[in-house]
Amino acid sequence: MNKRIRNIILINSAFVGVGVLLFVAGLIKGSSFLMPLGAGSVVSGIVKTMRMVKILKGGEAKIKEFEACYDERNTMISAKAGSLSFKLFCLASFVCSAIFALIGMEDVALIIAYVACMLIFIYLVCYWYYSKKY
């Protein structure tokens, strides 16, 4: 099996698992946003996994066509887009955190700041890992 397709299937399976967890948590707590978020994650993960399985069953020609989508240019564009979205998310998170703190919602501000800090920490760990690997 193609390594890239196998990794995509594993990641999509993780989205299905997290979606089921969110959906069950929403059922237990009666949450108005966890259930739809979980259902969306499950459906998205299943559809993307089915797409990869279809590519695998399509034979060598379909796999080569899929790999052509991930040429060097597209990989570079994807990396640049991911880097910019990471920076914008962190910036927006800290601005929102400051706004919530100013209007007296310190708990919400703290959670948003922790999420942004966790994302930065994950980025640093991944950067360290890939700098050692390559």
The mean of the pLDDT values for the chain is: 86
pLDDT class of 97 with cuts at 50, 70, 90: very high
Structure tokens at 103: 């209007």
Question: Can you tell me the mean pLDDT for 76-95?
Answer: 89
- Could you tell me the pTM of the whole model? 0.62
CA separation for the pair 71, 65 (Å, rounded): 11
Q: What angle do CA 102, 103, 107 make, to 5 degrees?
A: 85
Task: Give the pLDDT of residue 17.
Answer: 92
Proportion of the chain above pLDDT 90, given as a percent: 26
**Positive or negative CA dihedral for 106, 107, 112, 114?**
positive
Structure tokens at 106: 């310190």
User: How many angstroms separate the CA atoms of 49 and 52, rounded?
Assistant: 5
Contact 47, 73 (CB under 8 A): no
Which of 55, 43, 51, 54 is CA-nearest to residue 15?
A: 43
Residue 63 to residue 49: CA distance in whole angstroms: 15
Structural contact between residues 8 and 71, judged by C-beta atoms closer than 8 angstroms = no
Instruction: Determine what percent of the chain is predicted with pLDDT higher than 70.
Output: 99
Q: How far apart are the first and last CA of the chain?
A: 23
Q: What does the pLDDT look like over 2-50, one tens digit per residue? A: 777 788 889 889 999 999 998 999 888 887 778 888 889 999 999 988 8
